[in-house]
């Protein structure tokens, strides 16, 4: 990977619990990368890349960790030094909209919701789920919204960014 060609910084920790951590790296628009390894990334064997993100801008990612394992977080760029901030939290709390049991409620129409993400939400609904619409978009992280109509209504939903982000709704 060309991102591992620049100067990097490595953080490490030993997990004190099993679960999911959230890692947020603020990079002020720099083209950079973040890798999370289970085991030292320079070792010849026994290292697994748990998750990674590359590209321009801030990065948020989740990683499943296991008690007693040592994890390494490598922050890098293609060729430049840059300033950044990093925050790591454990455990991930239940996110609003993660499932139908805890949807994000929409109370009035019209509603405009900007800058949403399904990052760290999990893939709770798949083509095998009861009531599936049978689309390939059910194979990724999900976010659930709920609107309760008080009578007959025709809803129009516009999802921006679908052509460049490979996202859909149902």
Tell me the pLDDT tens digit for each residue of 90-124. 766 667 888 888 899 999 999 988 878 777 777 77
Question: Quick one: pLDDT band at residue 43, thresholds 50, 70, 90?
Answer: low
Contact between 100 and 119 under an 8 Å Cβ cutoff? The reply is no
**pTM of structure:** 0.65
Kind of pairing between the strands at 104-106 and 145-147: parallel
Q: How far is CA 148 from CA 88, 105, 151, 153, 155, in A?
A: 36, 9, 9, 10, 11
Contact between 17 and 67 under an 8 Å Cβ cutoff? The reply is yes
Q: What is the pLDDT of residue 148?
A: 93
Q: What is the pLDDT of residue 5?
A: 67
Q: How far is CA 86 from CA 24, 27, 37, 74, 96, in A?
A: 6, 9, 16, 11, 23
Q: What is the pLDDT of residue 127?
A: 77
> Cα(74)–Cα(12) distance, rounded to whole angstroms?
9
Question: Quick one: pLDDT band at residue 44, thresholds 50, 70, 90?
Answer: low
């Amino acid at each position: 990977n060309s991102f591992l060609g620049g100067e990097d910084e490595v953080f490490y920790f030993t997990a004190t619990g099993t679960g999911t951590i959230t890692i947020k790296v603020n990079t002020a628009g720099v083209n950079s990368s973040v890798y999370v390894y289970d085991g030292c990334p320079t070792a010849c064997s026994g290292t697994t890349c748990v998750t990674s993100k590359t590209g321009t801008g801030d990065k948020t990612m989740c990683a499943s960790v296991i008690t007693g394992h040592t994890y390494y977080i490598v922050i890098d760029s293609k060729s430049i030094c840059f300033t950044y901030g990093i925050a790591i939290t454990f455990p991930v709390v239940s996110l609003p909209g993660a499932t139908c049991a805890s949807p994000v409620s929409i109370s009035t129409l019209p509603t405009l919701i900007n800058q949403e993400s399904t990052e760290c939400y999990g893939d709770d609904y798949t083509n095998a789920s009861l009531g599936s619409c049978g689309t390939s978009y059910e194979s990724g992280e999900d976010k659930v919204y709920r609107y309760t109509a008080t009578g007959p209504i025709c809803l129009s939903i516009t999802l921006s960014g679908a052509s460049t982000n490979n996202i859909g709704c149902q």
